[in-house]
Structure 1
Amino acid sequence: MTAFLTNLDMQAGWGCSAELDLTADGVYDGRAELWHEGARCCVILITRQPSRDATLERVKFWVAHFIEDWSTRPR
């Protein structure tokens, strides 16, 4: 199963896609790739979530956390 996240509340220049998998144990795992201005800058792994919605919520949480951290770094 693959879900593409396009409606995340992200700042301009950011993009994200995620692949979600239902495991044989009946839980969900996910992998999200995050891009900034066309360059991949982060891969987030989410494991052992009870539902697809819970997995997407964890992805959204960690994406927002990464973007906030990235945005506050000195350049």
Structure 2
Amino acid sequence: MDAAHIDLGLPAGWSCWLELQQSSEGTCSGKAELREGHEPRCVLIIAQQPNREAVIERLKFRADYFVGEWRMRQGEDGAPRS
């Protein structure tokens, strides 16, 4: 299955690509890649959820958390903090 760009309302410069899979029972799971610019930063795996909307809701929560932590650790100038 191909990944598709999904708008999660992430900060400028960040994007998310999502690959969804649906089971024969109708539940969904997904794999998403978060990118800062063109650089991949994280792959998130979303386990079985009752539907597509639940996958996206869970993904948004986890992506917001990751990006917030990443930005805090990088500092405002983008340089890693020690």
Query: In which range does the TM-score fall when normalised by the shorter chain?
Result: 0.7 to 0.9
1-structure distance, mates of 2:25, 2:5: 23
Write the mapping of 1:1-75 to structure 2, written as runs, cut at 5 A. Answer: 3-5=4-6, 7-74=7-74, 75=80
Say which one has the larger Rg. Answer: 2
* Pairwise CA distance, 1:22: 0.5
* Pairwise CA distance, 1:37: 2.0
1-structure distance, mates of 2:72, 2:56: 25
* Pairwise CA distance, 1:15: 0.9
Q: Percent identity?
A: 38
**CA offsets per residue over residues 18-60 of structure 1, 9 Å max, x none?**
0111113431110000001210010000011001100011111
SS of alignment partner, residue 10 of structure 2: coil
Instruction: State the TM-score, normalizing by the size of structure 2.
Output: 0.80
Instruction: State the TM-score, normalizing by the size of structure 1.
Output: 0.87
Following superposition, which runs of at least 4 residues in structure 1 exceed 2 angstroms of deviation? 1-4
Q: Which runs of 5+ in 2 are unaligned?
A: 75-79
Contact 1:13 1:36 survives alignment (8 Å): yes
1-structure distance, mates of 2:51, 2:44: 17
Q: Which has the higher contact order (CA 8 A, sep 6+)?
A: 1
